Structure 1
Amino acid sequence: MLVRYKKALEKIAMGLISLMPQEKDIKRLMETIQQYDQNENWTLYLWKKGDEYVGTVGIVEEEKTAIIQHITVIPSYRGEGVALEMLQELQDMGYEHIQANDDTSAFVQKCIPILKEAD
């Protein structure tokens, strides 16, 4: 289940986002969280499985398109389809198009055909 980011989840969100190689630097990580806090069209969601937050997906919204800025899953849940479930739920929320940025394109491009099959 996607849960919209709020300040109370900041440490959890930072831990999840820091799993992305380009977000290892604490200064960059703080700037990323600020983007989600301050920009109206930037939205961060955390994926909750049971009582645990196991992934995150951050988007920039442009009309009915979700451009994936960040997508991570904690290592112990990788390979279980969590990221695909997050993208599917974005589609279910009404985003007609799921796109990637340079950092997420390799992964998102693998998921797009699977998402189209599910429609």
Structure 2
Amino acid sequence: MLIRFKKNYEKIAMGLLSFMPTEKEIKKLQATIKEYESNQNWQLYLWKEEDDILGIIGTVKKEDGVVQIQHICVTPSHRHAGIGTKMVNELYNMMPSIAVCGNEHTAAFCERCQSIEQSKVSL
């Protein structure tokens, strides 16, 4: 399930975000976390299963009202298990009346998630 980021999850969030290609430098990573903490248009969610945090998804609300997925990561030991798809689909379900899309780094993955979900519905 997706849970909203809180300050006490900061180290976990930074660890997960560090897997993103754009977040390799510590200063950039700290600036990103600070933006999620201080900017109301930036929202960060953690994916929790039982007591474990397995993934992270971050969004930014654009001026046109579109919510853009700008970060999405799953711990390496839990990749290829459908967790990323679950995170994207739960985000879509949380915001049914809002357009949600990916950015240049996440768009292809988000489109695959939508295709998977649509193929399940048509079965």
Report the TM-score, using the length of structure 1 for normalisation.
Answer: 0.90
Alignment partners' CA distance in 1, 2:68 and 2:60: 5
Give the equivalent residue in structure 2 for 1:82: 83
Matched to 1:26, the amino acid is: I
Report the TM-score, using the length of structure 2 for normalisation.
Answer: 0.87
Q: CA deviation at 1:45?
A: 0.1
- Name which one, 1 or 2, has greater alpha-carbon Rg: 2
Number of equivalences: 119
Alignment partners' CA distance in 2, 1:31 and 1:117: 38
Alignment partners' CA distance in 2, 1:56 and 1:90: 11
Matched to 1:90, the amino acid is: L
Give the equivalent residue in structure 2 for 1:26: 26
Q: CA deviation at 1:18?
A: 0.4
Alignment partners' CA distance in 2, 1:102 and 1:92: 22
Give the equivalent residue in structure 1 for 2:111: 109
Alignment partners' CA distance in 2, 1:73 and 1:79: 9
Identity percentage over the alignment? Answer: 45
Q: 1:57-113, CA deviations, whole angstroms, 9 ceiling, x for partnerless residues?
A: 000124764310100000111111001111111122124432111121232222222
Gaps of 5+ in 1: none
Residue 102 (structure 2) aligned to one of 100, 103, 114: 100
